[in-house]
Amino acid sequence: MKFLKIVVASILILIILGYGLLQVINSRSFQFFGEIINKVDTDKKVVALTFDDGPTNKTDDILKILHEKNIKATFFLTGKEIEENFEEAKKIFNAGHEIGNHTYSHQRMVFKSPSFVKDEIEKTDKLIRKTGYSGEILFRPPNGKKLLLLPKYLADNDRKSILWDIEPETDPEIGADSEKIVQYVNDHVENGSIILLHVMYDSRQESLESVEGIINELTEQGYEFKTVSELLKYEEANN
């Protein structure tokens, strides 16, 4: 009986620890090392549009919208896709957008060796530099997941992890309808928000179609669009 109690108690403790670990892996505002940013603290009406993954053959579509609206955004690209679609990556750079590092192969950066993490990030940095991009390269972990080694590497190398505070696509019902995406962003936006969208794949056509509406609605509300690096300066100005 006593043995059984110990077993049950041990299992409970493991479940609680496991749950806590999962919270840390997925948290958008906490990690063990280094700086993690999901929005910027400012009283100015400024926001950042960020696009994850790619580049793909959808690049022209999104660049066209941003060009028409005269807005600069931040693209978190994967090294593998830059390699496969190098001309598309160059177009993003030539259009004056910010390029961030989203790892080479877009795997969950959890329980990976230090050399794997280092390689994933540095290989991608090199490819980003090859486009001609010379600004600071911000980092965003795939699926927002990270635990010890990735944050440790980023902290050791003085790199910031950029997450987001607005992710309209997470609710499948919203993600499947461009008007609902616009409405969601419109309802949830705050000063300093970082908006996450995926526009590089056919499955995210509604997201691509929401971009113009998001820009129109937020501009109407008085917001200005900044790259993430520009947005970060507003926080620094506050301190």
Report the residue number, 53 or 167, with the smaller CB distance to Zn ion: 53
Told to check if 98 binds Zn ion by CB under 5 A, we report no
Stretch near Zn ion under the rule CB under 5 A, chosen from 54-62, 91-99, 134-142, 157-165: 134-142
Report the residue number, 53 or 120, with the smaller CB distance to Zn ion: 53
Structure tokens at 98: 């910010």
Contact pick of 53, 81, 167, 206 for Zn ion (by CB under 5 A):
53
Told to check if 52 binds Zn ion by CB under 5 A, we report yes
Report the residue number, 51 or 223, with the smaller CB distance to Zn ion: 51
- Nearest alpha-carbon partner for 181 in 193, 191, 192, 169: 169
Stretch near Zn ion under the rule CB under 5 A, chosen from 44-52, 83-91, 206-214, 221-229: 44-52
* Beta bridge pairs of residue 76: 52, 100
Contact indicator for 137, 125 with CB cutoff of 8 Å? yes
User: Shortest approach of Zn ion to residue 202 CB, angstroms?
Assistant: 16
Contact indicator for 111, 147 with CB cutoff of 8 Å? yes
User: Shortest approach of Zn ion to residue 145 CB, angstroms?
Assistant: 10
Report the residue number, 68 or 171, with the smaller CB distance to Zn ion: 171
Report CA dihedral (110, 114, 115, 119) to the nearest 10 degrees: 60
Residues in the interface with Zn ion (CB under 5 A) total 3
Report the residue number, 196 or 211, with the smaller CB distance to Zn ion: 196
User: Shortest approach of Zn ion to residue 151 CB, angstroms?
Assistant: 17
Report CA dihedral (90, 196, 233, 153) to the nearest 10 degrees: -80
- Torsions phi, psi for 36 (to 5 deg): -125, 130
Told to check if 120 binds Zn ion by CB under 5 A, we report no
Report the residue number, 42 or 103, with the smaller CB distance to Zn ion: 103
- The upper half-sphere exposure of residue 166, i.e. CA atoms within 13 Å in the direction of its Cβ, equals 24
Stretch near Zn ion under the rule CB under 5 A, chosen from 122-130, 139-147, 148-156, 175-183: 139-147
**Amino acid present at 19:** Y
Report the residue number, 46 or 110, with the smaller CB distance to Zn ion: 110
User: Shortest approach of Zn ion to residue 124 CB, angstroms?
Assistant: 12
Query: In whole angstroms, what is the distance from residue 127 CA to residue 137 CA?
Result: 11
Q: What is the CA radius of gyration of the chain?
A: 19
Secondary structure (3-state) at 78: coil
Interface with Zn ion (CB under 5 A): 52-53, 142
